[in-house]
Amino acid sequence: MKTAPVAILYQALPPPLIDGLRKDAKPGGYSDGGADIAFALRTAGVNVVTPTSLPNPSKALDWVFPDTVEGLRSAGAAGASVLWANTVLFEGHPLETAMADFDIVGQLPAAMQAFDDKFETNHRLAQAGLPVAQSFLLSGTGKANVCALVDVEDACAFRGMSFPMIVKPVRGRGSQGVTLVESLAALRDAATALIEAATFGDMLMVEEFLGGDEMTVTIMPPASPRPDGSRASTHWALPPVYRFDQRGGVAPYNGDVPVTANSIAIGPEQRRDPAIVAMIDSCVSAAGLVDARTAIRIDCRADRDGRFKLFDLNMKPNMTGPGRPGREDQDCLSAIAARAKGWSYADLLLAMLAAKWTFDSSNEA
């Protein structure tokens, strides 16, 4: 297979503070998933350039370049013409100045910054008429459109929100800091702990708890080929993945419990359920609204009436997978979804690579 040389980036830059909020960095900066991507693509015949000439499959950093200015220069010097941004992007990220020189697998940095704000993203989706979990912002002290902790009881009553509820970071990662609370006292305790720790900044979200089935939907970009080889002109969805064995009402962090242990793609018959069809359609619409340039993942749960609501849009979903030694159980949720359509982990990555895009300053807002 003759392909354009690809370099995979990992998160080496510390996450910036954005409007008082921070997305906590993952240990290793997604270098594990980046190495999985690089190894699988190279095994599939893709020309993957690496920082070392003979990368060790067991050493993640042998396969990926840091997302720093120097790292991007090194990737270019190694011959890369495609940068795969397996990292958290933001306005001012070094990738912004490199986009004119490389094809990209990843999001626009400005879009990732905007839509990593879970509260604002859900607000925009709700404004567009999509079903979204109700929530409000909470902080130690009140400010415009943000409830003060001392007023949280009134804020819940005003919105008709009842316990249990979810307390979580605005720019969180996975299930970090996400807590199910059963009472006003528990809400105050969880909120106080998050605010005082300041790991995620000085604000958090209080969200309605959806007690029904939980599913996650991977949405692919328009330019990516489908499993049958056809190409759509719009975003499209892989089969939803059912999540089970939640802990305290919350799916556990995948670093503690591999998603292969608590997730399974739903079958064709169940996918015809009108509630699930509506959920998938909503997720496809959401991907268009956020201008997703590569695969995203949207977490959804059913309310007491069986209606699915979107509650967490992930612009940079986990993309780990098997291949390297000791990684046999590392299928990510998107890979589980892909297998339900007959794709291997490498097939999913090849479809994402086929949707690489070229920056055109005349067409960007």
Q: What is the pLDDT of residue 80?
A: 98
pLDDT for the residue 358: 94
63 lies in the same domain as 157: no
Give per-residue pLDDT as tens, 39-75: 999 999 999 999 999 999 999 999 999 999 999 999 9
Within-domain flag for 116: no
From residue 290, how far is each of 80, 107, 197 by CA, in Å?
28, 10, 30
Within-domain flag for 129:
no
Task: Pick the last residue of a domain from 176, 192, 208.
Answer: 208
Domain match, 201 and 218 both: no
pLDDT grade, residue 364 (50/70/90)? low
CATH of the domain at 197: 3.30.1490.20
Q: Is residue 124 part of a domain?
A: no
CA distance 162 to 177: 20
Any domain includes 127? no
Residue 30: inside a domain, yes or no?
yes
In angstroms, the CA 143 to CA 191 distance is 16
In a domain, 52, yes or no: yes
Say how many domains are in the chain.
3
Reference 114, options 95, 88, 94; nearest CA is: 88
Residues 218 and 193 in one domain: no
pTM for the full predicted model? 0.95
Confidence of residue 241 (pLDDT cuts 50, 70, 90): very high
The parent domain of residue 219 ranges over 214-358
CA distance 333 to 215: 10
174 shares its domain with 289:
no
What distance, in Å, lies between the first and last C-alpha atoms of the chain? 36
- Between 16-25, 58-67, 88-97, 231-240, the lowest mean confidence (pLDDT) is in 16-25
Region 123-143: mean pLDDT is: 95
218-239, pLDDT tens digit by residue? 999 998 999 999 988 899 999 9
User: How many whole angstroms separate alpha carbon 51 and alpha carbon 56?
Assistant: 11
> What is the pLDDT at residue 1?
53
Indicate the residue among 156, 185, 208 that finishes a domain: 208
Provide the 3-class DSSP secondary structure of residue 225. strand
Contact status, residue 192 vs residue 243, Cβ threshold 8 Å: no
> What pLDDT is attached to residue 173?
82
Percent composition of the chain: helix, strand, coil (DSSP 3-state, to 5): 30, 20, 50
* Integer angstrom CA distances of residue 87 from 3, 124, 132, 300: 22, 24, 26, 23
DSSP assigned state of 248: T
Residues 276 and 354 in one domain: yes
In terms of domains, do 333 and 225 share one?
yes
Q: What is the pLDDT of residues 150-203, one digit of tens each?
A: 999 999 999 999 999 999 999 988 788 899 999 999 999 999 999 898 888 889
Task: Give 48's strand partners.
Answer: 6
CA neighbor of 295 nearest in space, from 235, 364, 249, 243: 235
Confidence of residue 2 (pLDDT cuts 50, 70, 90): low
Report whether pLDDT(361) > 80. no
- Both 177 and 302 in one domain: the answer is no
pLDDT confidence of residue 232? 84
Residue 115 lies in a domain: no
For the segment 200-218, the average pLDDT, to the nearest whole number, is 94
**Which pair of structure tokens corresponds to residue 310?**
């979107």
Query: Could you say which of 174, 208, 242 is where a domain stops?
Result: 208
pLDDT score of 363 more than 80: no
Specify whether the backbone of 146 is left (phi greater than 0), alpha (psi in -120 to 50) or beta: beta
Q: Are residues 286 and 225 part of one domain?
A: yes
DSSP 259: G
Residues 6+ away with beta carbon under 8 Å from 297? 216, 217, 218, 219, 313, 314, 317, 333, 334
Averaged pLDDT for residues 113-126: 96
* 96 and 140 share one domain: no
Write the DSSP symbol of residue 140.
S
